[in-house]
Amino acid sequence: MSFCVAVIGAGTIGRSFAWLFARSGYPVQVFDPRPDLAEVVTELQAEVSADAAAHDMLASELGTISLAESVETAVAGASFVQESGPEDPQAKPKLFAQIAAAAPKDAIFATSSSTIPASLIARHLPPEVAARVIVGHPFNPPHLMPLVEVVPAPATSSDTVERALEFYRSCGREPVALNREVRGFVGNRLQNALMKEAISLVENGVISAPDLDSVMKNSLGLRWSAVGQFEAMHLGGGDKGIRGFMDHIGTSFVEIGELPLDLSEAGMADVYAQVEQAYGQTPSRAGAQTRDRAQQAVLEARRQRDRHTPPPQ
């Protein structure tokens, strides 16, 4: 029997995952109570086929996207379930109980949740089911962003972690397994630290919002698409690597104090005004497309680099 995937919830994240899984060759069953699901599924299938044709792929290498009438029919033959329903700590445990009751006994149940840990979702499930529940947290849009944070609960089995990593890798992702649950996982904790600093710099009149974006795009953003935090420190510390970096720069960085931060409506008013003046009152679809094209170009540049770089000695 072929490896089938169920996507539960076809909003921003579920649609993108369904695209990715079908493009990776899997038959995908999609369920969402939204009334326009049939149109969403037809549109997704057309987009997957068009992308495959643009990359000279054979139709036989592609998966299919089918509409399921219920959670139960979507998961009935699934080896892997990716849940991307609403971020609701009351609803997710109920949805997972429903999924587990109808899915095959060895299926993996992953949630896209950004904040709800697998231990909360699985807390009323029998141990043999809880062992197969895991967080598979993507960055938006998951068909483009390589990272999936794989976050096991204490009850999750190591076999589930391995199978989830293997599945996401088979879809061309670069998943990373966390050793334990932590609120915000890793990507959003890093993002949160930066978000708070960015807002306080604008609130305290140090820089305008678009100029802060310019600083990021033209320095840290570029660097971080090539190397991560620790590799950057190691490369920037001279012959002693990260130890040299910490000796020369790291300690003085640590002494940089925090600026006041006000996340209330009144505190944020000027930040909102600056962002909306720079980028328009509502985010444009064209803006998202430009972002995606730029990210695709960066990914392609990284692929070229990896093809031509010998492995480190």
Q: Whole-number minimum distance, CB 247 to ligand NAD, in Å?
A: 38
Our finding on whether 12 is near ligand NAD (CB under 6 A) is yes
Task: By CB under 6 A, tell whether 87 contacts ligand NAD.
Answer: yes
Which residue minimizes CB distance to ligand NAD? 11
Range 102-141, binding ligand NAD (CB under 6 A): 112-114, 137-138, 140
Q: Is the dihedral of CA 139, 214, 234, 251 positive or negative?
A: negative
Is the Cβ of residue 52 or residue 151 nearer to ligand NAD in the bound state? 151
Task: Report the residue number, 79 or 82, with the smaller CB distance to ligand NAD.
Answer: 82
For position 200 contacting ligand NAD by CB under 6 A, the verdict is no
How far is it, in rounded angstroms, from Cα 74 to Cα 66? 9
Binding residue (CB under 6 A) for ligand NAD from 52, 65, 68, 95: 95
Does 10 engage in binding with ligand NAD (CB under 6 A)?
Answer: yes
* Smallest distance from ligand NAD to CB 138, Å: 5
Task: Tell me the backbone φ, ψ of residue 251, rounded to 5 degrees.
Answer: -65, -35
SS3 state of residue 102: helix
Per-residue tokens: 142? 């998951």
The CA dihedral of 60, 61, 64, 65, to the nearest 10 degrees, is -160
Site for ligand NAD contains 11 (CB under 6 A): yes
Measured between alpha carbons, how far is residue 182 from residues 26, 175, 186, 193 in Å? Answer: 31, 17, 8, 15
Q: Of these, 5, 6, 7, 13, which contacts ligand NAD (CB under 6 A)?
A: 13
Task: Annotate each residue in 27-66 with x if it binds ligand NAD (CB under 6 A) or - if it does not, as one string.
Answer: ----xxxx--------------------------------
What CA–CA distance (Å, rounded) separates 125 from 279? 46
Which C-beta is closer to ligand NAD: that of 26 or that of 31? 31
Stretch that binds ligand NAD, among 55-63, 83-91, 218-226, 290-298 (CB under 6 A): 83-91
CA distance 13 to 118: 18
**CA pair distance 285, 287, nearest whole angstrom:** 5
Task: Please give the Cα distance from 47 to 39 (Å, whole number).
Answer: 12
User: Which residues participate in catalysis according to the annotation?
Assistant: 149
Binding to ligand NAD by residue 169, rule CB under 6 A? no
Pick the piece of the chain touching ligand NAD (CB under 6 A) from 10-18, 118-126, 227-235, 287-295: 10-18
Cβ at position 3, least distance to ligand NAD in Å: 22
CB of 259 to ligand NAD, least distance (A): 27
* Separation CA 93–CA 215 (nearest Å): 42
Q: Which of 110, 95, 104, 106 is nearest to 76 (CA)?
A: 104
Q: Which residues contact 39 (CB under 8 A, 6 or more apart)?
A: none
Least separation in angstroms between CB 12 and ligand NAD: 4
Measure the CA–CA gap between 117 and 53, rounded to whole angstroms: 39
Q: Which of 4, 6, 8, 81 binds ligand NAD (CB under 6 A)?
A: 8
- Binding stretches for ligand NAD (CB under 6 A): 8-14, 31-34, 71, 84-87, 95, 112-114, 137-138, 140
